[in-house]
Amino acid sequence: MQDLPHHYAVTASAGTEGNVALDSPGLEGIASAGPAEFGGPGNLWSPETLLVAAVADCFILSFRAIARASRFEWTSLDCDVVGELDRVDKVTRFTDFRVRAKLAIPAGVSEDKARRLLEKAEHSCLVTNSMSARVHLEAEIEVAGIPA
C-alpha cells in the first residue's frame, strides 16, 4: 500500500443535454445520467447508483483484506446495498444504507469468526466512514453443505 494521503482523479464532461462522460486515468470511461427518480432515463449509472455501488464494492474489498490478514477461509461474498435518499432539514441527502451480506464458508470454519469479520469490514469501509449516513449490516452466513 502507498503512503497516505491518496488522491483519486475523475473528469466529468457533458454538454447541455445527454449523458455525462466519466473518465479517470488508466480506467475505461463510463457514461452517466440522472436516475429515473430525478427525470433521467434510468438506463445508465447515475451519481446515486455509483455511490451505492461504492458502498457495496468497498464492503467486499474491506472484507477480503480483513479475511486475508486473519487467514480466514471463505468461498464467496454477495453484497446487496440499498441507499435511502431523503430530505432532511431542507437538504436532499443519503440518510441510510442497508448492507445485506451473504458469506459462504467451508464446513468447519467458525461462523462466529465469520460474523466478527463481516462486522469489522462494515466498520472499516472507508466509503461509509466518509459519509454521515447510517449503515446497517444484515449478515447471513452459509456453511458449505448446510442449507441456510
Give the tens place of pLDDT for each residue, 17-62.
999 999 999 999 999 999 999 999 999 999 999 999 999 999 999 9
Q: In the chain, what are the domains?
A: 47-143 (3.30.300.20)
Please report the pLDDT score of residue 118 as a whole number. Answer: 98
Single-letter code of the amino acid located at 12: A
pTM, two decimals, is 0.91
Give the tens place of pLDDT for each residue, 54-97.
999 999 999 999 999 999 999 999 999 999 999 999 999 999 99
